[in-house]
Amino acid sequence: MRIRIVDAFSDRPFAGNPAGVLLLDAFPEDDWLQNVAMEVNHAETAFAHPLPEGGEADWALRWFTPVTEVTMCGHATLATAHVLHSTGAHEGPVRFDTLSGVLVATPGEDGSITLDFPTAPLTRVEAPEGVAEALGAEPLSAFDTGPNIGDLLLELADEKTVLGLTPDLKALGAHSSRGIIATARAEDPERGYDFVSRCFFPNVGIDEDPVTGSAHTALAPYWSERLGRTGLTGLQASRRSGRVRTEVRGDRTLLSGRAVTVIEGELIA
């Protein structure tokens, strides 16, 4: 079977967030899926197979990190939609049946793909004791992002603070089910982005995720309320870096970006 590595939320190779993508006839045993994801060793590997016509979805989709299955993943969904469209396996909007319900990916005329995801419900909480020491910065505010994401969103003082983080990842893992989203307002919006973030997910085997689509379902409503606009662009400032265009539509959030296939090969195991 064909296996592809796709850089998502990027218009060039070796940037954005890489994901493995496999198109299957059906899902094999979970152990096999997990072993492939461990072998690929990227933040997520996506597995998809076509569904019968006439249903609510066109393809079934699952996502695995190197250590576990996850309930939501933006960049691997974008990567899968890119593979379906670039190979001719599917035309037009594609509806994915996932653990987070039916998610739709729509190709744009400019080559981008827009994902329709549920907006994360944000609940203000007290910053947990010890999280500032683990992160290496004092949060201004803290929010729980709900069960689909399972992160703790922390606003920090400024962009420079976010960029300079060197957290204690082992200690950080004690403060949420998946990880920590650290964010701040953009220092200079003229650079083309409105807010900056970094995401640390040690509990699912990802020390720092390059570009996290699912995190932007929480970042988008947070910053849209703060900045007074529904349409924003976020910069995830990892070493690989990437930008996510967002638009909040009530209980749904649109995430837009591009993707590039960088490796295509044959899986023989």
Do residues 36 and 66 lie in contact, with contact meaning Cβ atoms separated by under 8 Å?
A: no
Max Cα-Cα span within the chain: 53
What is the C-alpha to C-alpha distance for residues 214 and 229, in angstroms, rounded to an integer? 20
Two structure tokens written together for 35: 């072993």
CB 245 within 8 A of CB 230: no
* Residues in a beta bridge with 17: 8
Phi, psi for 74 (deg, rounded to 5): -80, -50
Place of tokens 């995190």: 215
- Is the distance from CB of 59 to CB of 48 less than 8 angstroms? yes
d(CA 85, CA 254): 19
Distance separating alpha carbons of residues 144 and 122, to the nearest angstrom: 6
Cβ-in-10-Å burial (0-12, 13-18, 19+) of 128 comes to middle
Give bridge partners of residue 263 from the DSSP assignment. Answer: 5
Catalytic residue among 39, 44, 53, 56: 44
53 catalytic residue (yes or no): no
Catalytic residues: 44
